Amino acid sequence: MLLKLFPESWIKFTKYTIHTNKTTKHSATGHSNCRAVRETIRGGIRVGDILHIGSGSGRTATATAFATMAHSRAMKLRRERRHLAAFDFDHTIVAQNTDTVVRDLLPADVIASKDLNELVENDCWTEYMAEVFRLLHKQQVSESRIRDTIRGIPEVPGFVRLIKHLHKKLHFDLIIISDSNSVFIDEWLVSHNLADCIKAVFTNPAHFDETSGQLNVSPHHRQTDCKLSASNLCKGRVLEHFVIEQDLRNNIRYDHVFYVGDGNNDICPVLRQRACDFACARQGFAMEKHLLRNRNKLKLRPELLIWRNGFDLMEQILALPQLKELIESGTPAAAPPPPGVAAKDVDAIADGGEEAAGGARRASAVTPSNSTN
């Protein structure tokens, strides 16, 4: 097949030999590269992945390209299996709405002003909060008072314990996807010793201006595609992109994804979940009511868990048969090789890929690269 595809510059695989245009090349680097090439083809790299077979100096580039694919293939075979829990923040981890708690530091007549409320009516929540922060600054409400107010918001009972248990005992990856803002979430997490438990926070970026001291906020992103979400944050898109990125960049695949929320803006992410995942809706809140009322219409795939507090949710999670092995061992499992690939072949590919990677690094020192960062 390769000979038909490349009649002029061709390659032939023998035991540790690469032939290019009938010229045999033997070297320590060539030896490891060739092994990597053989194992790469055996491991399932598609012929469509081969873009160009050169001659002369191109032989090193060819071997390097195959070696890189071999190493990538080995890493994929060793993909790590983990579990992910994604949390909303307001009324999920914390018992109140962080935005409205801080807004209520304003005088009542300012909160009720027509100009401010028009922003809410026009579905511009981020712009609304930006104006709230401007008015707080005008009223000389200090940064320290805002931070103290955030730290004083209570948790939903049991959620600090739940987060620590999932992170430290069950080794879950934990993320937060929230329409609050980065200042509020970071301040609360740090004050409750949870910052190290959270892998990533996706929210509206905010900061206190160093000169004026005013709190500024901007949208996480702009979107018009998802009608279930606000224009500044589609939680479903964020969750989906995170899971894909973990798979492609870090070779982490999540066996189960738990999404924990309470509101209508938590509907989108659970509609993107798989049948092996879990949608965790707070009892008596909008998310639960919407899902129960429209479950058949929405064609909800994940298993639905209804929770009252963090203790209740942890009890339900620990009782899941899908997590029995994880709970008993206390460590995440390594991903098994794909069907038809023996464990010893994984090690062989990995060994070849690592050796070839050394050759690739040496080759890159003398070979110009067209890649950009």
Q: Which are the catalytic amino acids?
A: 88, 90
Q: How far is CA 235 from CA 85, 96, 205, 242, 253, in A?
A: 14, 19, 15, 11, 20
Put residue 91 in one of left, alpha, beta given phi > 0 → left and psi -120 to 50 → alpha: left
What's the residue count for the chain?
Answer: 373
Got the DSSP string for 167-214? HHTS--EEEEEEEEEHHHHHHHHHHTT-GGG-SEEEEE-EEE-TTT--
d(CA 244, CA 252): 9
**Residue 111, SS3 per DSSP:** helix
d(CA 295, CA 225): 22
Cα angle 138-144-147, degrees, rounded to a multiple of 5: 105
Extract the tokens encoding 135. 């008015």
d(CA 234, CA 228): 8
Cα torsion angle, 192, 193, 198, 201, sign: positive
24 within 8 A of 31, measured Cβ to Cβ = no
d(CA 95, CA 333): 34
Extract the tokens encoding 197. 């438990």
d(CA 121, CA 13): 69
